[in-house]
Amino acid sequence: MFDVVVVGAGPAGCAAALEAARAGRSVALVERGPYPGAKNVYGGVVYGRVLDELVPRWWELMPVQRWVTRRSTMLMTGTQALTVDFRTEDWGRPPYNGATAFRADLDGWLASLAQDAGAVLVPSTVATGLLRDARGRVTGVSTDRPDGDLTAGVVIACDGVNSFLAKEAGLFRPEPGGRHLTLGVKETLALPRETIEERFALTGRDGLDLEILGCTRGIPGGGFLYTNLDSVSIGVVLGLPGLASAKVRPEELLTDLKAHPAIAPLVRGGRLTEYAAHLIPEGGYDSMPELVGDGILVAGDAAAMCLAAGIWLEGVNFALGAGMYAGRAAAAAVASGDTSATGLAGYRRLLEDSFVLADHRKLRRAPGLVFSERVQRQYPGLVCDVVQGMFQVDNPRPKPGLRRLLTRAARDRRVRLRHLLSDTLTGLRSFG
Ligand X SMILES: Cc1cc2nc3c(=O)[nH]c(=O)nc-3n(C[C@H](O)[C@H](O)[C@H](O)COP(=O)(O)OP(=O)(O)OC[C@H]3O[C@@H](n4cnc5c(N)ncnc54)[C@H](O)[C@@H]3O)c2cc1C
State the residues that interact with ligand X by CB under 6 A: 7-13, 30-33, 39-46, 126-127, 158-160, 184, 186, 235, 278, 280, 300-302, 306, 313-317, 319
* Minimum separation from the CB atom of position 119 to ligand X (A): 14
What is the closest distance, in whole angstroms, from the C-beta atom of residue 100 to ligand X in the complex?
8
Contact partners, residue 128, CB within 8 Å, separation at least 6: 141, 142, 143, 144, 148
Residue 108 site contact among other proteins, ligand X, none (CB < 5 to 8 Å, cut-off depends on kind): other proteins
Q: By three-state DSSP, how is residue 318 classified?
A: helix
Residue 12 or residue 213: which is nearer to ligand X going by CB? 12
> Residue 40's binding partner, choosing from ligand X, other proteins, none, with beta-carbon cut-off 5 to 8 A by kind?
ligand X
The strand pairing partners of 185, in sequence order, are 236, 277
> Closest separation between CB of residue 205 and ligand X, Å?
17
Nearer to ligand X, 80 or 317 (CB): 317
Q: Which is nearer to other proteins, 29 or 326 (CB)?
A: 29
Q: Which is nearer to ligand X, 158 or 332 (CB)?
A: 158
From residue 242, give the alpha-carbon distance in Å to each of 177, 225, 237, 356: 13, 22, 11, 28
Query: Least distance (Å) from other proteins to the CB of residue 302?
Result: 22
Q: How far is CA 232 from CA 121, 183, 208, 411, in A?
A: 31, 19, 10, 38
Of residues 5 and 156, the one with the C-beta less far from other proteins: 5
The interface partner of residue 260, options being ligand X, other proteins, none and the CB cut-off 5 to 8 Å by kind, is none
Which of other proteins, ligand X, none interacts with 316 (beta carbon under 5 to 8 A by kind)? ligand X
Cα–Cα distance between 154 and 151 in angstroms, integer? 9
In terms of CB distance, is 122 or 406 closer to ligand X? 122
Q: Alpha-carbon torsion 162, 27, 46, 312, what sign? A: positive
330, 344 Cβ separation under 8 angstroms:
yes
Residue 143 or 182: which CB sits closer to other proteins? 143
| C-alpha span between 104 and 185 (Å, rounded) | 17
Q: From the CB of 340, what's the least distance to other proteins, in Å?
A: 26
Neighbours of 250 (CB within 10 A): 19
Q: How many residues does the chain have?
A: 432
Q: Which does 80 bind (CB under 5 to 8 A by kind): other proteins, ligand X, none?
A: none
Beta carbon of residue 423, minimum distance to ligand X (angstroms, whole number)? 25
Q: Which residues bind other proteins (CB under 8 A)?
A: 28, 34-35, 38, 104, 108, 120-125, 143-150
- Residue 104 interacting entry, from other proteins, ligand X, none, C-beta within 5 to 8 Å by type: other proteins
Q: Is 162 exposed, middle or buried (0-12, 13-18, 19+ CB in 10 A)?
A: middle
Can you tell me the distance from the alpha carbon of 365 to that of 9, in angstroms, rounded to the nearest whole number?
30
CB of 180 vs ligand X, minimal distance in Å:
13
Q: Which burial class, exposed, middle or buried, applies to 50 when counting CB atoms under 10 A from its CB (0-12, 13-18, 19+)?
A: buried
| Smallest distance, ligand X to C-beta of residue 164, A | 7
Q: Which does 346 bind (CB under 5 to 8 A by kind): other proteins, ligand X, none?
A: none
Which CB, 5 or 183, lies closer to other proteins? Answer: 5
Could you say which of other proteins, ligand X, none residue 314 binds, taking C-beta under 5 to 8 angstroms by partner kind? ligand X
The burial of 425, by beta-carbon neighbours within 10 Å (0-12 exposed, 13-18 middle, 19 or more buried), is given as exposed
CB atoms inside a 10 Å sphere around CB 407? 13
